[in-house]
Structure 1
């Protein structure tokens, strides 16, 4: 590379650094961003335009006392990023309804109202008991601060709402302050935008021109480009848990798109089957086995690494008519003590139990977390609709090899119940029902806090420790990067380092 080309590259790098930082924030990292700003904060003077104030002179508190020094504040709350913000994304405890708190030092809140909604659907978030309230606090110096609490409002991209607050100044006035937090994101003051400044357009055009020149110069180079940092070449086999299969197929596709010299084979047939295959394979070929839970005692060469925190869900055929079961009811169903859903408040439909086969990590999780370690009884049907000759009497029971097969069977079998990984189950809500446990829906935050019992740690196993430069080690590291975490999160699971106990990858309780 000659000096002119080196100068061009250095200039391009200098321009690309801030551009890449922008793309990392808004395109790759894609953090959730809650924005807030004060659009108006004005007093109502008693000597200007007095003859036209009209009803403004008569504004009163709830007690009937006229406001002495009224002021008006208009606040805008908005999704300032590209990722939707859900009500569970606010950084508060699950039983706290407040998502945003605004303080008005030196002023008492006389009233407030929601004045603008970007979409009518947001209106239901401000109903009674939603968390919308006003209050005040008094310091030891007798200084009063008015407070309004706003609910944890779900906001899609570009959604916003506005709040008009009427206050009465009773002490030294200060600017409003905001208290809010977003998990895996930020809450900060946003700025009004009325179009791109001319300077930004010029800089953008200049940067684009440099990037184009740099790209052409690189394209004309005859020597091949090196692979991205931490990429490895080779072929890697991924085996094990069918519950974790969709996550790993997605992650492998992202890795192969970046690291083009890498390729993958998939053979997910269950956690136990994957561990046995890895143990038999030894060091013959690169392989990782994923398991819902830990390995057995007879595989000492298999090294485990916690990768993800998985949530599972109960699923039922829609005709069963059940939406919630407590732990004891679930145990009675799987013990064969309940033969018709009407006995548990559902429809008059016989119960059919669809399970995973022995050796499934999902089945082991269900038995350990829900059935107190008891094994599910033996099956008496192959097709899940008729009893096999010689099969035990009672509830029909059948088994399936994979999570997707189980979901298919539950969806087409009246009265059927089963279980699967949450991400896969949610994708099938059009043709089956998710059943909450003891009034608690299957959501990741509830499982992390210990309020939802059906979860498991997902482990990645290798035969001995892989060489640092190998495709095995590279892919394991990739799963802990921001992109890898985003893939895991997109399937309704959580990366272990997002938990309060990341090393153990287990809930708080």
Structure 2
């Protein structure tokens, strides 16, 4: 009797296992999308996916952030992390391979200790930069020599320039900032500014200048707003048109560096920023200049041709 029960139980167990196996014959193994693969979106077009990080220039940061938002809206599987920190940080991090893109206001060749030969330069825009003041200093146009005198400490009161009887308060960007390097090279003609308060962020600089009587600093055009006054130099206004012809000297290329040739999502995002869709709309709307709009070129040594 026991043998019959055991045989029956064994038959039922084998039959059950067989049926379960037959039921799973059409089941496919789970698959995962590659971090930098392309999938189809709702319109049937290829959609980039994955996650990358871009770090560096705060002057370029607003454009990259805006482009990243649009790119992510069009590519639901893509995540673009954008951080500031300054051009020096961007170049160091991309050289170390710690990030996917290093944003910079300056050529990699200009930064000591950066292996520029290992990096690939993608010039995505041009940005104008200029001196900005607290709105009540009473000065709107100075000469470049006067600008140099301010930042080297030779002029210390706005009344010396026809403004208020008010002490000049200098706000500098931190060492390693591409904005600072560009301003010192082309705005101060290489002169070394006096020691002053330093800030890491362009946004913070704008806030401090707008709230500090007598303050002066420098910002990219994309940070200009009604809370500050942008100074003219030698009668030339800080405009895109003047940058294009080099009538306004304080400008720089906006670089997105990669460690070797860009691939995958990194390449897709850089190509997106360089596309007419972004160059002809977002770049201009945010007070940057398309590279193609420049009537002059500048090399890593600062020579214009």
Shorter-normalised TM range: 0.7 to 0.9
Larger radius of gyration: 1
Q: Which residue of structure 2 lines up, in the alignment, with residue 348 of structure 1? A: 165
> Which residue, out of 271, 284, 296, partners 1:489?
284
Instruction: Return the offset for 1:503.
Output: 9.3
> Which residue, out of 457, 461, 479, partners 2:273?
479
Instruction: Return the offset for 1:301.
Output: 1.8
SS at match of 2:236: coil
* Count of residues in correspondence between the two structures: 260
Q: Which residue of structure 2 lines up, in the alignment, with residue 267 of structure 1? A: 83
Q: Deviations over 1:51-107 (max 9, x none)?
A: xxxxxxxxxxxxxxxxxxxxxxxxxxxxxxxxxxxxxxxxxxxxxxxxxxxxxxxxx
Distance 1:279 1:441 in 2: 37
Contact 2:130 2:218 in 1 (8 A): yes
Indicate whether 1:445 and 2:258 are aligned: no
Instruction: Return the offset for 1:462.
Output: 0.4
Higher RCO (C-alpha under 8 Å, 6+ residues apart): 2
Distance 1:339 1:225, change over 3 A: closer
Instruction: Return the offset for 1:494.
Output: 1.1
Distance 1:329 1:480, change over 3 A: same
Instruction: Return the offset for 1:375.
Output: 2.6
Q: Which residue of structure 2 lines up, in the alignment, with residue 364 of structure 1? A: 181
Distance 1:334 1:261, change over 3 A: same
Q: Which residue of structure 1 lines up, in the alignment, with residue 118 of structure 2? A: 301
Contact 2:221 2:287 in 1 (8 A): yes
Q: How does 1:176-195 map to 2 (within 5 A)?
A: none
Contact 1:501 1:507 in 2 (8 A): no
- TM-score w.r.t. the length of structure 1 is 0.49
Q: Which residue of structure 1 lines up, in the alignment, with residue 28 of structure 2? A: none
> Which residue, out of 427, 433, 436, partners 2:232?
436
SS at match of 2:160: helix
Q: Which residue of structure 2 lines up, in the alignment, with residue 402 of structure 1? A: 201
Structure 1: which 5+ runs fail to align?
1-223, 379-396
Indicate whether 1:320 and 2:137 are aligned: yes
Contact 1:448 1:507 in 2 (8 A): no
Distance 1:241 1:225, change over 3 A: closer
Q: Which residue of structure 1 lines up, in the alignment, with residue 74 of structure 2? A: 258
- TM-score w.r.t. the length of structure 2 is 0.80
SS at match of 1:275: helix
Instruction: Return the offset for 1:281.
Output: 2.5
Distance 2:192 2:277 in 1: 38
SS at match of 2:197: strand
Contact 1:320 1:346 in 2 (8 A): yes
> Which residue, out of 45, 50, 54, partners 1:238?
54
Instruction: Return the offset for 1:370.
Output: 1.4
Instruction: Return the offset for 1:238.
Output: 1.4
Report which of the two has the higher share of strand. Answer: 1
Q: Which residue of structure 2 lines up, in the alignment, with residue 423 of structure 1? A: 222
Q: Which residue of structure 2 lines up, in the alignment, with residue 290 of structure 1? A: 103
SS at match of 1:233: strand
Distance 1:503 1:347 in 2: 38
Q: Which residue of structure 2 lines up, in the alignment, with residue 457 of structure 1? A: 253
